[in-house]
Amino acid sequence: MNLYKFVSNSLNKKLGFVANLEIPKNREFGDFSTNAAMVMAKSAGKNPREFAGELLPKISELNFVSDASIAGPGFINIKLKNDFIWESVNQKSDIKNQNPYIIDMDYGAYNVAKSLHIGHLRTSIVGDTLNRIAKFLGHKTISYNHIGDWGRPMGLVIAYIESLHPDWPFFQDNFDLKKIKPEDYKISAAELDNYYPAASARGKEDEDFLNHAREITAKLQNGHAGYNAIYDIFLKVSLDMMDSIIKKLNMMPFDKTLGERNASQNLANLEKILNDKKLLEDSEGAKIVNIRRETDTEPMPPFMFYNSRGADTYEATDLAAILYRKTNDNPDKIWYLTDSRQQLHFKQVFRVAEMLDLYPIENLEHLYFGTINGPGGQPFKTRDGNVAGLTDIIEMVNNAVRARITESEKNLDDKTVEAIALAALKFNDLIHDVKSDYTFDPASVTSFEGRTGPYILYTAVRLNSVLKKSDTKIKNKSMVDITSDERNLLVGILDFERTVQGAFDNRATDILANYAYDLCQLINTFYHNCPILHEDVKADIRAQRLYIAKIAFNTLSSVISLMGLNIPDKM
RNA sequence: GCGCCCAUAGCUCAGCUGGAUAGAGCAUCAGAUUUCUAAUCUGCAGGUCAGAGGUUCGAAUCCUCUUGGGCGCACCA
């Protein structure tokens, strides 16, 4: 059950007004506290401590309160009965939302023909965890990998392939898809990986090449058979690479992988809607929507639908995607996870979506996050100076885990190594405030001590090991005698549902990750101070502790699973 | 120029309800294993919450200004 919610509701009902309920930072003050007396003293014309004295008897009457007292300037501290805590642990969950939302979640946004780099880490990991949290609370989510698959990079890559294989049929005037076997023209993932950087570099120094790429982009978008055929070949290679990363990161598969290419099919339709509403204007050869408002104090450039060369824009395809989602999913909300540099872009798109009565702006949320920097404060780079690739980073952490295992003379299989490494990588991302930039420090990500993913997994593994060794059937018996370590752990467990709800409400995975760490600290203290299977532990105490260990493990497992991690058998 | 974000311990970060003595981890130092996994636990030390003013019974948190940093401001996605 959600202990906070229960206590808060009971307290409000008893007092007849909504009292602010807090969990004191210093736990010696009690399980909960309220500053209601201080908040209300002024309007009541009373001294806070005196007013608190009037509220105190009512609070003490609540049947789950063992002690309530006035402290400091007028806080009322509340301590719960041990029996109540013990029984609460068995109360059924009320976490499923009775009025669930349909939420379209747009994260990932991988690019065709460009390998994933560190910039894709947050959108993937945070997006996946928010998706899991939303589902856990009973909401219906539809995840979209809105892939970058239709712009100039495609033209550049095709132009580059043409320069390598000018004799391939895709580039001949008489190209006929029926006369070739696409499987004869192989492009490996490793080759494709090099094409875009090479093409991009060449485009910068070779104007003719760039113009040719632009021409190819336009022709590709207009249905040129040869370009579309070669595109389909490397699109497949790219989609396979994306799938492999999604599996490596233990993400849920995307419900839909539809990008700009798909959205662009809606553009003619969208253009008609914009024209019907008389929103589209010509400006310097481009077609735009003026979204500026009188009240704007910030720069608000127009929303560009077609650029002056007639090409589809980023804004146009994102707006078309909203139309697509409205038509196909009719979600209550659409969430976008991208980095903070795209705030203005989404503000523009959302304004036009509102002008078209697709969605009010409050139902379109841009959950932006900061950039990941290297230890120098600069964007994180590999040794060769390139933006670090995601596979390289995963490999780096894998190697560090292997080194650690060798050092401690353990023997763990590859699957376990990968699970531990993934925990290190993902937990490090989840625990940072989503909106802030953060420093990706390889030394600390691969240290595995303290507040890290491996610590979380280790706690679960060790606890589970005790549960597995126990040959008695674990049941909830009556409470015998409870130590403060056991009590603290139970109270921590009872904060789980509030935490998940809070993480959802704030769209903040760090709330969940910090809870995971706090819970593990409580578990480890309990584990250390409260022996379970030792011979000198009395049977009834053992039964009680086994039960606590079991529900602690269950709760921790839920948290670990929400973070998209797996618990190894041993480590 | 206009706008958004940020500044907390040596380092990396919490403090997302304005509350009580500002908390963790790492690093340093001192301890704990005949004991269910030491990737653990316990303890010491470490602070002008960038600076100044204001609101409040109470400010790291809200407001104003200053300083320093990051990012964005139509044809790249």
For residue A408, what is the domain's CATH number?
A: 1.10.730.10
CB A508 within 8 A of CB A449: no
> Does one domain contain both A72 and A181?
no
What residues contact residue A349 under an 8 Å CB cut-off, 6+ apart? A303, A315, A318, A319, A322, A364
Determine the pLDDT at residue A472.
74
Determine the pLDDT at residue A309.
82
Side chain identity at A380, as an amino acid letter?
A: F
For residue A287, is it within any domain?
no
**C-alpha separations of A551 from A57, A82, A89, A538 in Å:** 34, 16, 8, 20
Among all protein residues, pick the one whose CA is nearest to the C1' atom of B56: A39
Report pTM.
0.95
Determine the pLDDT at residue A383.
61
Å between CA of A437 and C1' of B70:
9
User: DSSP states of A254-283 as a string?
Assistant: PSB---HHHHHTTHHHHHHHHHHTT-EEEE
> Does one domain contain both A37 and A180?
no
Among all protein residues, pick the one whose CA is nearest to the C1' atom of B5: A436
Count up the domains in chain A and report the number: 3
Q: State the sign of the Cα–Cα–Cα–Cα dihedral A383, A387, A392, A396.
A: positive
Å between CA of A364 and C1' of B53:
39
Determine the pLDDT at residue A385.
63
Å between CA of A361 and C1' of B40:
49
Nearest to A130 by CA among A455, A438, A365, A394: A365
For residue A133, is it within any domain?
no
For residue A160, is it within any domain?
yes
> Does one domain contain both A178 and A59?
no
**C-alpha separations of A231 from A105, A225, A314 in Å:** 27, 10, 20
**C-alpha separations of A372 from A118, A381, A399 in Å:** 7, 10, 21
Task: For residue A457, give the nucleotide whose C1' atom is nearest its CA.
Answer: B39
Å between CA of A462 and C1' of B53:
54
Walk along chain A (571 residues) and give the pLDDT tens digit of each residue: 899 999 999 999 999 999 999 999 888 889 999 999 998 887 777 888 889 999 999 999 999 999 999 998 899 999 999 999 999 998 888 889 889 999 999 999 999 998 898 889 999 999 999 999 999 999 999 999 999 998 889 999 999 999 999 999 999 999 999 999 988 999 999 899 899 989 988 988 898 999 999 899 889 988 899 999 999 999 999 999 999 999 999 999 999 999 899 998 899 999 999 999 999 999 999 999 999 988 888 889 999 999 888 888 999 999 999 999 999 999 999 999 999 999 999 999 999 999 999 999 999 999 999 888 887 777 777 666 667 789 999 999 999 999 999 988 889 999 999 999 999 999 999 999 988 888 898 888 999 999 999 999 999 999 999 999 987 777 777 778 899 999 999 999 999 999 999 999 999 999 999 999 999 999 999 999 999 999 999 989 999 999 999 999 999 999 999 999 999 999 9
The tokens describing A203, both together, are 């485009």
For residue A35, is it within any domain?
yes
For residue A99, is it within any domain?
no
User: DSSP states of A113-157 as a string?
Assistant: TS--BTHHHHHHHHHHHHHHHHHHTT-EEEEE---B-SSHHHHHH
Nearest to A103 by CA among A350, A337, A265: A337
> Does one domain contain both A400 and A545?
yes
> Does one domain contain both A400 and A546?
yes
> Does one domain contain both A428 and A528?
yes
Å between CA of A207 and C1' of B71:
30
Task: For residue A404, give the nucleotide whose C1' atom is nearest its CA.
Answer: B39
> Does one domain contain both A177 and A49?
no
Task: For residue A529, give the nucleotide whose C1' atom is nearest its CA.
Answer: B41
Chain B positions under 7 Å from a protein CB? Answer: 1-6, 11-17, 19-27, 35-42, 57-58, 70-77
Q: What range does the domain containing A35 cover?
A: 3-80
A94: phi then psi, degrees, rounded to nearest 5: -120, 40
For residue A48, is it within any domain?
yes
Å between CA of A341 and C1' of B72:
6
CB A532 within 8 A of CB A466: yes
For residue A385, is it within any domain?
no
- Specify which residues A143 forms β-bridges with: A105
The tokens describing A281, both together, are 């204007």
Nearest to A513 by CA among A449, A389, A428: A428
Determine the pLDDT at residue A384.
63
Task: For residue A147, give the nucleotide whose C1' atom is nearest its CA.
Answer: B77
Å between CA of A340 and C1' of B71:
8
Global ipTM: 0.95
**Which of A248, A267, A288 is where one domain is finished?**
A248
> Does one domain contain both A163 and A72?
no
> Does one domain contain both A513 and A395?
yes
The tokens describing A179, both together, are 């006369």
CB A257 within 8 A of CB A145: yes
Å between CA of A100 and C1' of B19:
35
Task: For residue A296, give the nucleotide whose C1' atom is nearest its CA.
Answer: B3
> Does one domain contain both A403 and A547?
yes
> CA A267, CA A310: separation in Å to the nearest integer?
12
Side chain identity at A123, as an amino acid letter?
A: T
> Does one domain contain both A407 and A517?
yes
**Which of A219, A248, A277 is where one domain is finished?**
A248
> Does one domain contain both A408 and A542?
yes
**Which of A80, A95, A113 is where one domain is finished?**
A80
The tokens describing A146, both together, are 């809105």
For residue A306, is it within any domain?
no
CB A458 within 8 A of CB A419: no
Task: For residue A417, give the nucleotide whose C1' atom is nearest its CA.
Answer: B39
